[in-house]
Structure 1
Amino acid sequence: MPNNRALYVSFLDQACGVIEPQEGLQYEFTYAPAWLASQRRGISLSLTPQTAPFPSVTARAFFGGLLPEGAARRHISQTYGVDDLDDIALLRLIGHECAGAIRVTSAPVEPGSSRRLIRWMEPDEVRE
């Protein structure tokens, strides 16, 4: 059963770890045992595979960097009524739409689920 507070991190639809909120606006990231067992690379040079949780200062540098900055961040936080310093709240809201291969979701991701989110456009739908 999923942890209601945790956020689940996936890389190309493969579960790779969990973000656990801590006191205040702090959080930790821990790689999933299956990810470590597969001997895959880390999702970031600063998050090299290890069994111990990464402290907030290290995790925030990577996961906070997935979020918009400046006016876009303020707009999202005002629209949804969350603190613009609260990475966890923002990742919970928009983490499933991160650029690149990383997705952050409130529930574990099923393999292949991102393919269902993509609608490929026909050539006549694309404007130059």
Structure 2
Amino acid sequence: MAKFVAKRIEELHSKTQADIAREAGFKNANFITMIKTGSAKLPLDRVQDFAKALDTDPRSLMHLAIEQTYGPKMLAVLVELLGEPLTENERAWIDLVRTASNGTDPFPSTTARKALHVLLDDRA
């Protein structure tokens, strides 16, 4: 968590830590420094606001926050039970499949898999 937050803040040239703290709803910008150094844990209920302030994916940040708070074993249990979080792009693909199939939950046939591989391999 600490390394990710420090790197992300460094990448955000247009925002100060005070800006990020304010956008995330933290009263004190020093709390951002404490998260960056690993001396404070990001409260799980603040992940969404903090992710928005950092302009990053809230699902990935939640993974880091859970690992930071409860450890890698608990994160592994949650991932096993709930699955990996989806990126915004993955969610868009799922929405596309649901719309195209009229919500019928189609099985990914061999033909569909091959077509998808061709489509995605050819996009580069």
TM-score (norm 1): 0.30
Structure showing greater radius of gyration is 2
Q: Which structure carries more relative contact order (alpha carbon 8 Å, separation 6+)?
A: 1
More helix by share: 2
More strand by share: 1
TM-score (norm 2): 0.31
